[in-house]
Every structure is written in structure tokens, then in C-alpha cells.
Amino acid sequence: MIRCLYVDNFRGFHDSILELRKVNFFVGENSTGKSSILSLLKIISDFEFQYLGELKSRDVFLGSFKEIASKDQPITIAELMGKESEDGLGFEEIRSALMYEFRNEEGLPSLRKITFYSDQQIVTVHKDKDATKARSLAISEFFYMEDAHELMRKMRDFQNSESISGWKKIESPNIGRTGAVQLLDIACATLALKKISSSLYKRERSEIIWLAPIRAKPKRTYDGFRAAYTPEGDHAPYLLKKLLTTEKYRRHAEIIDSFGEDSGLYSNVEVNSYGKDETSPFELKVKIGRRKVRITNVGYGVSQVLPIIAEFVARGKSCYVIQQPEVHLHPRAQAALGEFIFTFANNLGAEFLIETHSDYLIDRFRLKMSEANKSRNKQKLDTDAQVVFFEKNNNGNKFTVIPVLSNGQYSEVQPRTFRDFFLKEQLSLLGI
């Protein structure tokens, strides 16, 4: 997962840096940019973006330039990679940074400048109509995460400098259709910066599993042919069938049933196949009390949360982006989901970016964090977490990072509006 994100002139955010932790809860009122930042993280984490440089992916489309930009100026986005601290929690030295500048071209964002920092060198590439050119700058400083703004300023100053010296033209077939990483690679070769070129491919990248806020409706029966993965979970029934009926996944099935018990949603999930062939149609049934009922005949929350649980269990240590996982879940189930997320983060090393309005989910996560801390004689946990609180101000959107301490408590550094937000959420639930 990207460790630090920089955005400027993007959906109301200006000159903003967000350092990410292993577990990140995005909270705040509607239209404050939570989904926009999640979508951007998904896009730039995809391998396709590295090679196409388009502000979209198979799962996410941000819109036209005017829908993305806050003002009629270039959009600047950067991803920063860091060296992990000795305790494994958080990051210290900035190993590399990759900056993209998009301009308006026929109504769509078009990548025009790419700038890369690594090993005390900055390389910038400009894609112009007439030519593509590059130059580099050696610097003496090392940068740490607390210096991220200073590094961004230095990269942008060099990228946008009007100096005409030091440029070299890049020659390559189909240069106009070459993606960001390839362009930088060619530029490094042109500028004889072999070490920087190798750094481009050493940046750690992990696939982000995108789980949409609205998940597929349950069906009475499913055909036996497996569906491809979709963020809405159309494939989830087929994944559940595999996990619940295959002997080697017995432990996975136990985890799924255990969540059902803890959440109060069900005690057991079963697959009823209409034939012995692997491709025979099948149905999903859940056991509630002593009754077994079709998944279409139980509360909507069951069919909405099962795709999430199945994805966690099947993939284990991955990076997940989840929007509103608490949809249609009662408070007990929301709390159980918070505990489930903590277990996967702390025990398996899974990473999470979660947009939520659920105090129950976050509070249970914090409680389990506190309990784990006490049981380890106050040693460091294997996970770190934070709440990212989004709100509007006079200049657009902004976010405030509120760390979750190892004892489960919030850091004292929090805006007054943060507690007000959750209070309003609770009053809304009560209809007051």
C-alpha cells in the first residue's frame, strides 16, 4: 500500500499530505472527500496507472477534469514510499516519491509532467506537443516523513522551473503513448542515471481489494459457473461455495461461522447443491436458531456482509478498501465486524482503508487493541491505526489525522468537530 499521499487542486483538497497506517478509518460528513481520496488511492495503486497514467481504473472513474480539479489549474498528485521504522509501526525515511501533474486536455485530465525522487536525485519529465524532455537535479538532503511537505515543494519547484538549461530530449518509438514509469526509465537512461532507474522498480506495490458500498443482491439459486471478481461481490456466492465445501478450506468455513455467531447474524452458512457435478446449480442457506433459511429470506445485512467476510478469509494478508461495511448491520454486528478487522490486521498483517459512519465498529476495534496491548505486557502491537476525519472549511475540504494509541485511546490532538460528528450520528439514529 502507498504509505503517503500528496494532493493539490484535487476535489477541494489543497497542498495536503496524508500519511497512511496499517488500519485507516475515514470518517466525516457526506461530500467532504472521503470517497474521492479512497478512489484516488485505488487508481494510483493499480499497475495499469503506472503504465497508462490515466486517472481511472476498471473499478473507479473520477470524471472529467472540471469534476476533479478544484480550480482551473493543474492537478498534482504524489505517492511517497518510506523505510519502515525499527518497531515496524510507521515510517521514517522517505525512500522515493513519484509526482504526477495533470492538465486539462479536451475536457479530460492528461498526464503532462512526471517527477521522481530517490537516492538524493530528482528527475523530471515533461510531455509537450513538440517533444518529450527530461533533466535531473542532485540534492544533498535526506527527507523523512515529517519533511514530506518540504520534499513536495522542492520537487514542484524543480518540475516547474522556467530554467532552460539541462534538458535532454527523449527519443523512443511511440513516445506519446508511453506510460509514466517507462518514460522515467527512458529518461534515466538518457541522463545516465542507472541507479535511479533501478529504484523505480523497487517501489513496493500491493494490489488493493476494492469492496463497493452497494453489494450484489442475493439470489434464490446460482448456476455452477464461477463468476469473475467484482467490487460488488457478484462472485461471492461462488467463493463461499469453494470455502464451505472444500476440505482444505475447513478452517476458513469455521471462521465464517464464528463471525456469524459473534455478530448474531447467523450460526452457520451452508451450500445446498442440486447435483453432484461441480457445475451444478446451488443455493446458500443460513442457520438462525434452529431454522435453516435461504439467504434471500433473511435480513439484508447478512447478504451484504458475507461478501466482505468471504473476501477477508480467502485473501488473508492483503490491502482492502471498504466503503460503509456497516450498511444494514445492527450495532452488535457492526461491533463484531470491528473485532474481525482487528484480528485480521493484527494477526495476519492485513491493511485496511475503511470509510465508515459506525462508532460501534471503530470502538470495538479500539477495545480489542487495548486488550491486546494489556495481554502483551504493554509491548508494541503488530498493527497501528488512525482515524482520518474529513470536513469542509472555507477553502474546500481538509482532513485531520487522529492516531489510535496502543491502549485504544484517541490521541488528544483532535478537532472539536470530530466528537460533534459522532454525536450527531448517534442522534440521527435515535431520530432526535
**Mean pLDDT for the chain?**
88
pLDDT for the residue numbered 91: 59
Q: Helices in 201-330 by DSSP H: which ranges?
A: 236-245, 250-263, 300-315
**Which helix (H) or strand (E) segment is 346 a member of?**
helix 331-348
Share of the chain above pLDDT 70, in %: 91
Please name the amino acid found at residue 74.
Answer: P
Is residue 271 scored above 70 in pLDDT?
A: yes
Per-residue pLDDT of 236-255, as tens digits, reads 989 999 999 998 899 999 99
Is residue 202 scored above 70 in pLDDT?
A: no
Is residue 16 scored above 70 in pLDDT?
A: yes
Per-residue pLDDT of 120-179, as tens digits, reads 999 999 988 778 899 999 999 889 888 999 999 999 999 999 888 899 998 776 665 667
pLDDT for the residue numbered 175: 64
pLDDT for the residue numbered 425: 66
Is residue 377 scored above 80 in pLDDT?
A: no
**Which helix (H) or strand (E) segment is 92 a member of?**
strand 91-105
| CB-count burial class (<10 Å; 0-12, 13-18, 19+) for 279 | exposed
Mean pLDDT of 401-408: 93
Mean pLDDT of 51-64: 87
Of the spans 117-131, 225-239, 305-319, which averages the highest pLDDT? 305-319
Per-residue confidence at 413, pLDDT binned at 50, 70, 90?
A: confident
Mean pLDDT of 268-280: 88
**Count of other CB atoms within 10 angstroms of residue 401:** 17
Vertex 122: Cα angle to 120 and 127 (nearest 5): 165
Per-residue confidence at 114, pLDDT binned at 50, 70, 90?
A: very high
pLDDT for the residue numbered 189: 85
Closest by Cα among 251, 257, 213, 216 to 234: 216
pLDDT for the residue numbered 278: 79
What's this model's pTM, rounded to 2 decimal places? 0.91
Distance (Å, rounded) from C-alpha 94 to C-alpha 310? 35
pLDDT for the residue numbered 129: 75
pLDDT for the residue numbered 164: 84
